C-alpha cells in the first residue's frame, strides 16, 4: 500500500473519530438551542446568588445591631455615672414602671400644648 491509500482499519478509525466529533458538535448545538434549559440554569444561579447575598446582608445587619446595642450600653453607663441622683432615680423608676411615666409625660405634653394654644389665641 502507498501513503495515499488507507487500509480498512485506518478508514474505520477515521470514521469513528469523525462520528465522535460530529456527536460533540451536535451536542453543543442542542445545548445552545435549549433556551428553556439555559433559562432554568440561569434562574438557579441567580437564586443561589440571592441566597448568598441574603445571608451576607443578615450578617451585616446583625453586626450593625450589635454595634448599636454596644453604643447604647456605653451611653447608658455614661448617663448613669454623670446624671444627677434625682434624674437617675426617675430614669430607673421609668424603666421599672414605664406605663405611669408614659401617662405622666402625655399629661405634661397636654398641659404644654394647652398653654401654647392659649398664648396663640390671646388668652381666650
Label residue 84 exposed, middle or buried (CB < 10 Å: 0-12, 13-18, 19+): exposed
Contact 93, 101 (CB under 8 A): yes
43-65 pLDDT, tens digit per residue, is 999 999 999 999 999 999 888 88
Q: What angle do CA 71, 60, 64 make, to 5 degrees?
A: 10
Return d(Cα 81, Cα 91) in angstroms, integer: 13
Nearest to 90, CA basis, from 75, 105, 78: 105
Q: What is the pLDDT of residues 60-86, one digit of tens each?
A: 988 888 888 888 778 777 767 777 888
Amino acid at each position: 500500500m502507498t501513503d495515499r491509500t488507507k487500509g480498512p482499519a485506518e478508514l474505520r478509525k477515521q470514521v469513528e473519530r469523525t462520528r465522535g466529533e460530529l456527536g460533540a458538535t451536535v451536542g453543543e448545538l442542542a445545548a445552545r438551542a435549549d433556551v428553556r434549559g439555559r433559562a432554568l440554569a440561569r434562574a438557579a444561579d441567580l437564586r443561589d446568588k440571592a441566597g448568598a447575598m441574603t445571608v451576607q446582608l443578615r450578617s451585616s445587619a446583625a453586626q450593625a445591631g450589635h454595634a448599636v446595642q454596644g453604643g447604647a450600653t456605653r451611653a447608658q453607663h455614661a448617663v448613669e455615672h454623670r446624671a444627677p441622683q434625682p434624674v437617675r432615680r426617675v430614669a430607673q423608676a421609668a424603666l421599672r414602671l414605664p406605663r405611669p411615666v408614659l401617662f405622666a409625660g402625655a399629661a405634661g405634653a397636654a398641659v404644654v400644648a394647652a398653654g401654647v394654644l392659649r398664648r396663640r389665641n390671646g388668652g381666650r
